[in-house]
Structure 1
Amino acid sequence: MSNHVITMYDYHVWANQTLINRLKEVPRELYTQEMKSVFPTIAKTLVHVYLVDSTWIEIMKGAEMKDAMAANLSQMEQLEAKTLEELEVFFHEVAQKYRGFISAHDDLDQTIVLDNPYTRVRETSYTEILMNIITHATYHRGNISAMLRQADYASTMTDYALYWYANE
């Protein structure tokens, strides 16, 4: 089993929580304040990250991609209405699903057939999927950092190198 991808997944969880902790320190109205960015609010950005994580774990557990996407996207409006603390619980729950999946699979390099409705069918390993969710969230945590700065608030560092020292 690839220990590196497991470490990277742990980093992903740590970085999400680190950012959530920072968001708890800024005024509440900033969470839903509209601004010019990839998504119009921090809330919508975080919900997107959660929905992507939630969709991929269902795919890894055997759901068809189009079905997992539809099921998770149907929750978008309800999730966007949640408070930061309520969404934090959802992040914790999806992380537990991933940890359960990872601990139950000795070979994360095993491949599955992925029928992506946006592109085509291909074989994809669990490791590739994990790296996809990690890099996807990293990109959007950067969006949120930029949104915080746009609103004149400092963000927080979520660099992988900082994770090394925070978890020694």
Structure 2
Amino acid sequence: MNHPQEMYQYHTWATYTILGRIQELPDSVLHQEVNSSFPTIAHALSHMYAVDQMWYLVLTGVSMPEALQMCMPRNEELYDSVEDYGQRYAELSEQYTTWFQDHIDLEQTILLDNPFAGIRDTSLAEIVFHLINHGTYHRGNISTMLRQLGHASIMNDYSLFWYAKPAID
């Protein structure tokens, strides 16, 4: 397994970890308004999911402007339950897993036309690392939102993942 793939596994594990914590709380927490980066935890989760989908499309050959146009409206698609988010993340994670199996050379570059920053040659690994960094940032937002709503969050640091993942022979 390569390092970007392991980091993606961490990203998936950390997302499921925070979803598991939210699932332990009253159902209302998902849609309870809070004065933070997002109006609700559901909004934060929808944003993370939309961006994960967008980067998947870019990795599979869709231009970034087209992928943004397809996925950014999904920021506003709020799901009713944590289970709904978990199901969607599981489906997307399976797509990424298949993608990783088909891409051995993650140092391969593509011409990324980022409407926010310009055009540059970008390796597939850089895109994967950005995706993971983006998720980490927003899981931190969700942890803060949970605290603002009077609930503890849960550790989902990469160093904890080292101990939580199954040993590889």
TM-score, normalized by the shorter chain, greater than 0.5? yes
Give CA-to-partner distance per residue, 1:12-70, whole Å, 9 cap, x none: 00000001010100111111111111111100001111111000010110101111111
Give the CA deviation at 1:165.
0.7
Give CA-to-partner distance per residue, 1:94-144, whole Å, 9 cap, x none: 111111111101101100001111121101111000000101000100110
- Give distance in 2, aligned partners of 1:159 and 1:76: 25
Equivalent pairs counted in the alignment come to: 166
- Give distance in 1, aligned partners of 2:36 and 2:126: 28
Paired amino acid for 1:88: G
Bigger relative contact order, structure 1 or 2, given CA contacts below 8 A and separation 6+? 1
Give the CA deviation at 1:5.
1.4
Please, which of 113, 120, 123 is the counterpart of residue 122 of structure 1? 120
Q: Confirm whether residue 135 of structure 1 aligns to residue 94 of structure 2.
A: no
Give the equivalent residue in structure 2 for 1:6.
5
Which stretch of the first structure deviates more once superposed, 48-57 or 85-94? 85-94
Give the equivalent residue in structure 2 for 1:15.
14
2:88 alignment partner, SS class: helix
Give the equivalent residue in structure 1 for 2:162.
164
- Relative to the length of structure 1, the TM-score reads 0.95
- Relative to the length of structure 2, the TM-score reads 0.94
Give the equivalent residue in structure 2 for 1:67.
66
- Return 5+ residue gaps in structure 1 as ranges: none
Distance 1:166 1:81, change over 3 A: closer
Give the equivalent residue in structure 2 for 1:152.
150
Paired amino acid for 2:126: E
Distance 1:6 1:58, change over 3 A: same
Give CA-to-partner distance per residue, 1:136-168, whole Å, 9 cap, x none: 000100110011111111100001111111114
Equivalent residues of 2:33, 2:39 under 8 A apart: yes
Q: Confirm whether residue 28 of structure 1 aligns to residue 27 of structure 2.
A: yes
Q: Give the percent of matched residue pairs that are identical in Structure 1 and Structure 2.
A: 43
- Give distance in 2, aligned partners of 1:148 and 1:119: 32
